[in-house]
Amino acid sequence: MKPIIRSLLDTDFYKFTMGQVVFHHYPSVNVRYAFKNRTKGIALSQFINEDDLRMELDRIRSLKFNTSEIRYLRGADIGARRMFSHEYLYFLENQLQLPPYELKYDGDNFTLEVEGDWAHAIYWEIPMLATINELYYRGWMKSQSKFRKGKWWANGIVRLAGKLDALGALPVSLVDFGTRRRFSLDWHDCVVETLSDELTDKQFRGTSNAWLAMKYGLKPMGTSAHEMFMILAGVLDDGTDESVRASYRESMRLWYRFYGYELSIALTDTYGSLYHLETMARDEAQDWKGVRQDSGDPVWFGEKIIETYKRHRIDHRDKMIIFSDGLELPRIVELFRRFNGRIRTSFGWGTNLTNDLGFAPLSLVIKPVMANGRGLVKLSDNPAKAVGNPEDIERYRRIFNYREQEYAECKY
Amino acid sequence: MKPIIRSLLDTDFYKFTMGQVVFHHYPSVNVRYAFKNRTKGIALSQFINEDDLRMELDRIRSLKFNTSEIRYLRGADIGARRMFSHEYLYFLENQLQLPPYELKYDGDNFTLEVEGDWAHAIYWEIPMLATINELYYRGWMKSQSKFRKGKWWANGIVRLAGKLDALGALPVSLVDFGTRRRFSLDWHDCVVETLSDELTDKQFRGTSNAWLAMKYGLKPMGTSAHEMFMILAGVLDDGTDESVRASYRESMRLWYRFYGYELSIALTDTYGSLYHLETMARDEAQDWKGVRQDSGDPVWFGEKIIETYKRHRIDHRDKMIIFSDGLELPRIVELFRRFNGRIRTSFGWGTNLTNDLGFAPLSLVIKPVMANGRGLVKLSDNPAKAVGNPEDIERYRRIFNYREQEYAECKY
**Is the pLDDT confidence value at A392 over 90?**
yes
Give the pLDDT mean for B363-382. Answer: 97
Q: Which of B66, B75, B216 lies at the smallest CB-CB distance from A217?
A: B66
Measured between CA atoms, the residue of chain B closest to residue A214 is B68
Task: Extract the runs of DSSP E, i.e. beta strands, from B231-363.
Answer: 265-267, 290-293, 320-323, 344-349
CA angle (B269 as vertex; B400, B110 as ends), nearest 5: 105
- Nearest-CA neighbor of B100 among B115, B122, B119? B115
Nearest to A74 among B77, B86, B219 (CB): B77
Q: What is the pLDDT of residue A218?
A: 98
Tell me: pLDDT of A412 over 60.
no
Q: Considering CB atoms only, which of B75, B80, B216 is closest to A75?
A: B75
DSSP per-residue codes, A100-145: PEEEEEETTEEEEEEEEEHHHHTTSHHHHHHHHHHHHHHHHHTTS-
Contacts of A71 in chain B (CB under 8 A): 71-72, 75-76, 214
Q: Best residue in B10, B16, B66, B71 to probe A by mutation, most A CBs within 10 Å?
A: B71
- Nearest C-alpha of chain B: how many angstroms from A75? 4
- A119 and A19 in contact (C-beta within 8 Å)? yes
**The pLDDT value given to residue A264:** 98
Arithmetic mean of pLDDT, A67-85: 96
pLDDT, tens digit, for every residue of B126-136? 999 999 999 99
pLDDT at B411 over 90: no
Name the residue ranges covered by the structural domains of chain A: 14-355+364-408
Phi, psi for residue A148 in degrees, rounded to 5: -65, -40
Taking CB atoms and an 8 Å cutoff, what residues of chain B touch A69? 217
- Determine which of A66, A68, A215 to mutate to test the interface with B (most B C-beta atoms within 10 Å): A68
Report whether A308 contacts A285 (CB < 8 A).
Answer: yes
| Amino acid A91: pLDDT | 98
Tens digits of per-residue pLDDT, B74-89?
999 998 899 999 999 9
What residue of B is the nearest CA neighbor of A219? B67
pLDDT 10s digits, B172-231: 999 999 999 999 999 999 999 999 999 999 999 999 999 999 999 999 999 999 999 999
H or E element, residue A213: helix A210-216
The whole-angstrom separation of Cα B115 and Cα B92 is 19
3-state SS track over B26-74: CCCCEEEEEEEECCCCCCHHHCCCHHHHHHHHHHHHHCCCCHHHHHHHH
Task: Average the pLDDT over B163-170 and give the result.
Answer: 93
Q: Give the pLDDT confidence of B255-305 residue by residue, as tens digits.
A: 999 999 999 999 999 999 999 999 999 999 999 999 999 999 999 999 999
Shortest alpha-carbon distance between residue B65 and chain A (Å): 9
Q: Which of A66, A213, A217 sits opposite B69 (nearest CB)?
A: A217
Nearest residue in chain B measured CA to CA from A206: B67
Angstrom distance (rounded) from CA A227 to CA A300: 24
Q: Which tens digits make up the pLDDT trace of B242-259?
A: 999 999 999 999 999 999
CB-nearest to B72 from A71, A77, A86 is A71
- The values of phi and psi at residue B205, to 5°, are -85, -20
Contact yes or no for A217 and B75 at CB 8 A: no
Q: Are strands B344-349 and B320-323 parallel, antiparallel or unpaired?
A: parallel
Closest C-alpha to B32, from B120, B94, B93, B108: B120
C-beta of residue A263 within 8 angstroms of C-beta of residue A252: no
* Contact assessment for residue B241 and residue B398, using Cβ atoms and an 8 Å cutoff: yes
CATH of span A14-355+364-408? 3.20.140.10
For chain A, give the mean pLDDT.
96
Residue in chain B closest to A75 (alpha carbons) equals: B75
Q: Residues of chain A with pLDDT > 70: what percent?
A: 100
**What is the number of CB-based contacts under 8 A between chain A and chain B?**
54
Summarised one tens digit per residue, pLDDT across range B328-339 is 999 999 999 999
Distance in Å, alpha carbon of A184 to nearest chain B alpha carbon: 22
Residues of B with CB below 8 A from A72's CB? 68, 71-72, 75
DSSP state of B327: -
**Residues of B contacting chain A (CB within 8 angstroms):** 66-77, 80, 86, 213-219
> Per-residue pLDDT for A410 more than 80?
no
pLDDT at B412: 58
How many Å apart are CA B264 and CA B157, to the nearest integer? 35
pLDDT score of A168: 86
Nearest to B218 among A67, A72, A217 (CB): A67
CA angle centred on B374, ends B372 and B375, rounded to 5°: 130
Q: Do the chains contact at A72 and B68, CB–CB below 8 Å?
A: yes
- Residues A371, A411: Cα–Cα separation, whole Å: 34
Determine whether the interchain pair B76/A77 forms a contact, defined as Cβ–Cβ distance below 8 Å: no
H or E element that contains B311? helix B298-311
**Cβ contact B217–A67 (<8 Å):** yes
Alpha carbon B82 to chain centroid distance?
23
Contact B270, B230 (CB under 8 A): yes
Contact B80 A70 (CB under 8 A): no
Best A7, A67, A78, A87 member to test B by mutation, with max B CBs in 10 Å, is A67
Segment (H or E) for A35: strand A30-37
Q: Determine the pLDDT at residue A298.
A: 97
Q: How distant is the Cα of B387 from the closest Cα of chain A, in angstroms?
A: 38
Q: What is the DSSP string of B107-165?
A: TTEEEEEEEEEHHHHTTSHHHHHHHHHHHHHHHHHTTS-HHHHHHHHHHHHHHHHHHHH
pLDDT score for A14: 98
pLDDT bracket for residue A80 (50, 70, 90): confident
Degrees, nearest 5: CA angle B212-B214-B219: 90
Residues from chain B that touch A67, judged by Cβ atoms under 8 A, are: 213, 217-219
Taking contacts as CB-CB distances below 8 angstroms, the residues of chain B near A216 are: 66, 68
Confidence (pLDDT) at B276: 97
Please state the rounded mean pLDDT for residues A127-145.
96
Q: What is the mean pLDDT of residues B342-354?
A: 98
- State how far Cα B90 lies from the chain centre: 25
Query: Between chains, do B73 and A68 touch, taking CB under 8 Å as contact?
Result: no
Q: Give the span between the Cα atoms of A295 and A381, in whole angstroms.
A: 5
Sign of the CA dihedral with B20 first, then B24, B27, and B32 last? negative
Mean pLDDT of A275-294: 97
pTM over 0.80: yes
Residue A169 has pLDDT above 90, yes or no: no
- Smallest Cβ–Cβ distance between B86 and the set A70, A80, A216 belongs to A80
Mean pLDDT value across chain B: 96
